[in-house]
Amino acid sequence: MDKKRRNRVKQNTSLAFRLRQLADAASEKANALPLGRERERLLKKVREAQRALEVEAFLKTPGADFPL
């Protein structure tokens, strides 16, 4: 039985840059859609990407206390 190997990709851009691109693209697409499930799904992606950016910024801050 062969062991499956993961595809490993070297990222050329930072995580923050990719998250910003994802949030911007999803936001533009959501704004072009009428109210509905697809729009809400895209807006949820935007919120998740923004939150991930906040977490990444927090983790990069030296000596920051974890917010409760």
pLDDT band at 59 (very low <50, low <70, confident <90, very high): confident
pLDDT band at 9 (very low <50, low <70, confident <90, very high): confident
Which DSSP string corresponds to 1-55? -PPP-------SS-HHHHHHHHHHHHHHHHHHSPSSHHHHHHHHHHHHHHHHHHH
Is a pLDDT exceeding 60 seen at residue 21?
A: yes
Q: Is the pLDDT of residue 68 over 60?
A: no
Residue 62 is given by DSSP the state T
The residue to which tokens 């895209």 are assigned:
42
In the predicted model, what is the mean pLDDT of the chain?
Answer: 90
Q: How far apart are CA 45 and CA 60, in angstroms?
A: 22
Position 6 scores a pLDDT of 84
Mean pLDDT throughout 16-22? 95
